[in-house]
Amino acid sequence: DLNCTIEATQRVPQNTQIRTTPTYAVPGRSYCRQIGGQTRCSITPPVIYGGNTYSYDANAGLRRAAKNQCMADLGYRPALIPPCAEGITPQHLKSPGKGFPRLTRETCFIASESQYFIGEP
């Protein structure tokens, strides 16, 4: 429900936090070996990992909970709807045309690239 999204956004505004991941270094190394009368060395430079900066919304979970509470107050509840059996097309589904169908044990969904179809075969 869009009104619940708006209400939750107004009640629990975004709270952007910036963090940096920890850093750690792998020290460089030098390897030397004697070849004939010469010493040859190769050096591996040190490598520093981490130190990446990222941002996140510290209120995202609370805002989601506020929206879910609003939806529950309107009578909505979560439902797990299984996918329809293979071979069932949107044309096979009985649906009310407007709104969502009444959920039964036979209710299933079909997902296309741009939309979902819910109904009973």
pLDDT of amino acid 47: 96
Would the pLDDT of 68 be above 70? yes
> Do residues 79 and 103 lie in contact, with contact meaning Cβ atoms separated by under 8 Å?
yes
- At 59, the pLDDT band (50, 70, 90 cuts) reads very high
Instruction: Read off the tokens for 92.
Output: 């096979």
List, for residues 36-58, the tens digit of each pLDDT value: 889 999 999 999 999 999 999 99
pLDDT of amino acid 44: 94
Would the pLDDT of 25 be above 90? yes
Domain boundaries, the chain: 1-78, 79-121
List, for residues 101-119, the tens digit of each pLDDT value: 788 899 999 998 888 888 8
Pick the closest to residue 109 from 76, 88, 96 (CA basis): 88
> Do residues 21 and 50 lie in contact, with contact meaning Cβ atoms separated by under 8 Å?
yes
Pick the closest to residue 22 from 47, 45, 46, 53 (CA basis): 53
Mean pLDDT, the chain, whole residue set:
91
